[in-house]
Structure 1
Amino acid sequence: MSEPQLHPMKVAINTYDARTSSGLIFLAPYAFSDDATYGQPGSLILDNTGNPVWFLPLNSPNLMNTDFRMQQLGGKPVLSFWQGTLATPPTYTNVPAGSSEPGSCYYIVDNTYRVIKTVAAQNGFTADIHEFLLTPSNTALLLSTRTVSMDLTPYGGPQHGYVQDFAIQEIDLKTNNLLFFWDALNHIPLAESYEPASSASFSNNTWDAYHLNSIGLTDDAKDIVVSGRNTSTIYKINKPSGMIVWRLGGKQSDFTIESGAEFSWQHDARFLPPNVISMFDDNCCETSGSVPAGTPPSHGLFLQLNLAAKTASLLREYYHDPNLNISSQGNTQSLANGNVFIGWGQSAYYSEYAAGGSTLYDAQMPGSNYTYRAYREKWVGTPYYPPSIAVESNNGVATVYASWNGSTETTTWQLFSGSGLKQFSLTKTVAKSGFETAISVTNSGPYFQVKALDASGKVIGISKITR
């Protein structure tokens, strides 16, 4: 009632264990263009019960956003996300289906929900949906794409074809200077791809040979780890030289992958000390879009690397109940208390697990909705705008609706009423209940106003006056 323009999706909580981590849940729900989206797509923060905390809906049905999460910039927490349009054949087909279209960019938002920075890719590349990573040096590591014309007949593709090149860019957020640039086409042989070049015929003759989908920091500021979905390989790259230090998985692996540690079509590769690689192992669905017989379920995966022996062994793994075969997307987040939070990519679920593997939390989005990644973070939001208020009156009983989109510190609402604009008195004090609190009063007002109080009883926000 108090925010009639907001229509976030409603989620179902399947499992909620008391050992679930503290913090809020970050999603960017959407659905494929040929499926119905339940609720509005956009950036959404939820609590454990599924109540919205902050929602920023997209203002156009053609837009979408991904990788919505909390990060640190200059020692302060911020929100970040990619926003733009995706190629959806046959309407727009000069890049592979599902790829970012020109004009896409990244946004950084402070804890008052003001946009403080917009970042675009450089060197003629387009900002890609998969990764926007803020570093301790106040730079941004991002993925970007462009198509390059090429004769693909040596690889089994069309003669007048294109390759989707992926580039890693590091940008100084103060000066906007490009500090680091590395592209796959000049460093990864096309023969490493498991995606057949013949698939280009379905995307305007463009071959998505690499499909890089994550960048992660390591214990050495000079090195990064990068995931290539369509090569089923995780690369460690030395930034100063641009050299690939090692390959994990794929056709040219520098490591022996021990039994149980195999992975393919993976997302969200992260380096964790001591020499651990975490990822979301899609294991699916190759290039057909269907699940081949015998395909292992998708899961969160942790591998222990032995750099001396060049082996990778299974450390831990996390499966959904029931098992899922995820054809794309997904992430595996290591939480500070040892728990693991998983976004199940192109499915409706997001979950949390104890380190030992037991399910502590599981939630389900409606219909065909899903989110590229899902995160749990401790976030404090203090909106720059005031709380919202609406009032209904029926037979002398007024119901006042109070909300404050994005406020994490509101615990109590005070309701004031009066017969004139300057004749207000405190009418009622109630505890905040969910996103919107309904307050019933017999006082006819007709003027009402609400004030938001924090846990210490301090007034932190005042609504407009409504009649």
Structure 2
Amino acid sequence: MLSGFFHRQRWMLLPSSRSGSSRPLIAFLVIAPVLVYLFFVFAVPQILRFRFRTDLGWYDLGWYGFGPSKNYVSFGYESPRPEILEWDPECDPSFVFLAPRGDSIAYPGPMILDAQGELVWMKHNWEITQDFKVQQYQGQNYLIYWEGDEIEGRGQGSWYMLDDSYTQRFQITPVGNFDGDLHEFQITKDDTALVTIYDILPADLTPVGGPALGWIYDGLFQEIDIATGELIFEWRASDHVPLNSTFKTFVGNGNDREAAFDYFHINSVDKDHEGNYIVSARHTHSITCIHRDTGAIIWTLGGKLNDFTLNSPETSFSWQHDARWHGNNTLTLFDNAASSNIDPTAVSRGMTIELDIPGRTATLRAAYYHPQVMEAVSQGSMQILPNGNVFIGWGHSAAFTEFRPNGTLLCNVHFGASAWFTFGRVVSYRTLKGSWVGHPRTVPDAEVEGRHVYVSWNGATEVVMWRLEVWDGKDLREMTFEPRGVFEKTGFETEIEIPDDVHDEYFRLVALDWEGNELGISGVIQRESSGSDPYATGRLVLVICGLLLCGCLLAGLYCAIRRRLSRRAGYRAMKDDEDGPPDANDRQEYHRLLPR
């Protein structure tokens, strides 16, 4: 019978012998150890990088993205949407300068934010941008940043200086056959620039366990006259600092020129009150004072060549950035204390160290810690502000904080999901504060959506109000406009509801300062048509009906094909039935089994 046929087919699907039943167990015993090994080798290190805490919010967990951003109607780019965790009126009200980048930043480049985290100005650069700040040159403020390519933490690019109209005035490169490095561009009181360079040289690497014929990244800095491009001074680490003073482990880099050994890693240069140079070297854990004329080392703080007696173990530092000299024999720096995510005891901080240079003693005067116990594996900055507060950018961790001199936290802001900081999806090499007045040569941008107009002006720092002006309806060739209202500027982009009594098609926005002076006028914009399409609903109904009809036709075709194939298979089964040719009972049984 046909039922017997189906019974035999099902039986063929079962294991043919008892030995087959052990195959899943054998497979499990083989695969399970491999999966466990892969989990501990690849997954566990990544899990340990998470910075979970009990006070994590949706922003910290990445609910709004690893680098939350803000979109605009009148402006074509996105900007960070910082989260202000703590705010105090004692915080310095000046602007924040940063250059966010990483896999979660859609439009990297130099960026200015105000004290509320609102965008003031940004420039999207296709190449990597770092070390964005404001500095004075010949009595005027300039925006300065480095732009170029980055290879294993070293830069190949140039430095750019923009005036208050955001027009490029200088592009500076090192003197000689060198690329400009991303780590430092510091303008001195003599209107010269201190810049860092990485140069590949042959070297004997046996002191660090490498080959006798190897390669190093040598750390250089130059002092350059900005106006003339003339070289004033040049210093090279390999002439003064031995290779075995490094804390960088030799793990194969240095065998080839394309992968040289970076034993020094210069990352900041400054000048002291006598004109000597203060150099920070990350991989030797040292701050070195270099004679302004001879290049000889005067003293070294930290590392294997340390000349100072430290007043406490807390005065030591490692993998540091941004060493700055202050006139009272005080040194500030950002102590990374970490070069990877594998040391759970590493805690980054800002430091103020007082030096008794004749007595060669170093005393820790203050340390500034992030409330979330930050571990910034690279980058970072520390700045003493004009009001005495201390401002710290946490580099590899997308955050910045401001403290009183005594270490009391005043303001705490981050612009990336903090649980993911160690993954480096959002970083800013340095984050600094400064004063800035911008007068862009562009005109304000305005767009209309429905009953609202959106207006912004990238880089205009003095705008406090927008005046809505409407065409008087007389002459299209020489249009004149009448004021219809003044609206307060709110953030980077201001949303203005078009007044009900404005029925004219053309209007514009005028930017005003505190005194009501006109700063700029947008182009003429046209309001959107208020009429609706009378056929829009009908077209939508027709589209929905068409989709439903197509779906029904496809479903019917599928059922017909499936029924026909099942019928053929049934007749074929009856033909092979052991009871002989199919009779009337077989056909009745077949039709009973067909799908309905």
- The answer to whether TM tops 0.5 is yes
Q: How many residues align?
A: 440
Q: Is the 1:2–1:403 contact (alpha carbons within 8 Å) kept by the matching residues of 2?
A: no
Q: Is the 2:215–2:254 contact (alpha carbons within 8 Å) kept by the matching residues of 1?
A: no
Q: Is the 2:280–2:287 contact (alpha carbons within 8 Å) kept by the matching residues of 1?
A: yes
CA deviation vs aligned residue, 1:81-124 (integer Å, no higher than 9, x gap): 0001112xxxxxxxxx12213xx100001111111000012222
Pairing of 1:282-361 with structure 2 (within 5 A): 282-285=336-339, 289-295=340-346, 297-361=347-411
> Structure 1 residue aligned with 2:509, among 447, 450, 466?
450
Q: Is the 1:249–1:257 contact (alpha carbons within 8 Å) kept by the matching residues of 2?
A: no
Q: Is the 2:75–2:445 contact (alpha carbons within 8 Å) kept by the matching residues of 1?
A: no
Asked if 1:155 is matched to 2:208, the reply is yes
In the TM superposition, what is the alpha-carbon distance from 1:264 to its structure 2 partner? 1.0
> Once superposed, which parts of structure 1, at least 4 consecutive aligned residues long, lie more than 4 Å away?
201-204
Alignment partners' CA distance in 1, 2:255 and 2:153: 12
Q: Is the 1:291–1:325 contact (alpha carbons within 8 Å) kept by the matching residues of 2?
A: no
Alignment partners' CA distance in 1, 2:259 and 2:134: 37
> Computing the radius of gyration over CA atoms, which structure comes out larger, 1 or 2?
2
In the TM superposition, what is the alpha-carbon distance from 1:290 to its structure 2 partner? 2.9
Query: Which amino acid in structure 2 is aligned with residue 192 of structure 1?
Result: S
Residue 85 of structure 1 aligns with which residue?
A: 149
In the TM superposition, what is the alpha-carbon distance from 1:308 to its structure 2 partner? 2.3
Residue 262 of structure 1 aligns with which residue?
A: 316
Alignment partners' CA distance in 1, 2:255 and 2:468: 59
In the TM superposition, what is the alpha-carbon distance from 1:157 to its structure 2 partner? 1.8
Alignment partners' CA distance in 1, 2:174 and 2:252: 27
Moved more, 180-189 or 1-10: 1-10
> Structure 2 residue aligned with 1:54, among 102, 121, 130?
121
Alignment partners' CA distance in 2, 1:158 and 1:45: 47
Pairing of 1:428-447 with structure 2 (within 5 A): 428-441=485-498, 442=500, 443-447=502-506
Query: Which amino acid in structure 2 is aligned with residue 145 of structure 1?
Result: Y
Alignment partners' CA distance in 1, 2:517 and 2:344: 60
In the TM superposition, what is the alpha-carbon distance from 1:159 to its structure 2 partner? 4.8
Residue 73 of structure 1 aligns with which residue?
A: 137
Choose between structure 1 and 2: higher strand proportion: 1
CA deviation vs aligned residue, 1:396-440 (integer Å, no higher than 9, x gap): x3x221111111110011111114541411112101010011111
Structure 1 unaligned blocks of 5 or more = 88-96
Q: Is the 1:26–1:44 contact (alpha carbons within 8 Å) kept by the matching residues of 2?
A: yes
Identity of aligned residues (%): 35
Query: Which amino acid in structure 1 is aligned with residue 81 of structure 2?
Result: K
Alignment partners' CA distance in 1, 2:201 and 2:489: 55
Residue 198 of structure 2 aligns with which residue?
A: 145
In the TM superposition, what is the alpha-carbon distance from 1:199 to its structure 2 partner? 5.0
In the TM superposition, what is the alpha-carbon distance from 1:291 to its structure 2 partner? 3.0
Alignment partners' CA distance in 2, 1:407 and 1:19: 25
Alignment partners' CA distance in 1, 2:140 and 2:480: 41
Alignment partners' CA distance in 1, 2:305 and 2:480: 77
Residue 209 of structure 1 aligns with which residue?
A: 263
Residue 585 of structure 2 aligns with which residue?
A: none
Pairing of 1:24-423 with structure 2 (within 5 A): 24-31=95-102, 36-58=103-125, 60=126, 63-87=127-151, 97-101=152-156, 104-200=157-253, 204-221=258-275, 223-259=276-312, 260-285=314-339, 289-295=340-346, 297-367=347-417, 368-392=425-449, 394=450, 397=451, 399-418=452-471, 419=473, 421=476, 422-423=479-480
- After superposition, the Cα gap between the structure-2 partners of 1:53 and 1:126, relative to the gap in structure 1 and judged at 3 Å, is same
Alignment partners' CA distance in 2, 1:72 and 1:423: 42
Q: Is the 2:214–2:255 contact (alpha carbons within 8 Å) kept by the matching residues of 1?
A: no
CA deviation vs aligned residue, 1:321-375 (integer Å, no higher than 9, x gap): 1101111111110011110000011102111001111111111112421111111
Q: TM-score, normalised by structure 1?
A: 0.91
Residue 521 of structure 2 aligns with which residue?
A: 462
Alignment partners' CA distance in 1, 2:512 and 2:282: 48
RMSD of the TM alignment (CA)? 1.6
Alignment partners' CA distance in 1, 2:150 and 2:367: 32
Residue 90 of structure 1 aligns with which residue?
A: none
Residue 583 of structure 2 aligns with which residue?
A: none
Q: Is the 1:158–1:198 contact (alpha carbons within 8 Å) kept by the matching residues of 2?
A: no
Alignment partners' CA distance in 2, 1:234 and 1:47: 33
In the TM superposition, what is the alpha-carbon distance from 1:152 to its structure 2 partner? 2.1
Asked if 1:20 is matched to 2:121, the reply is no
Structure 2 unaligned blocks of 5 or more = 1-71, 418-424, 527-596
Residue 93 of structure 1 aligns with which residue?
A: none
Alignment partners' CA distance in 1, 2:387 and 2:504: 50
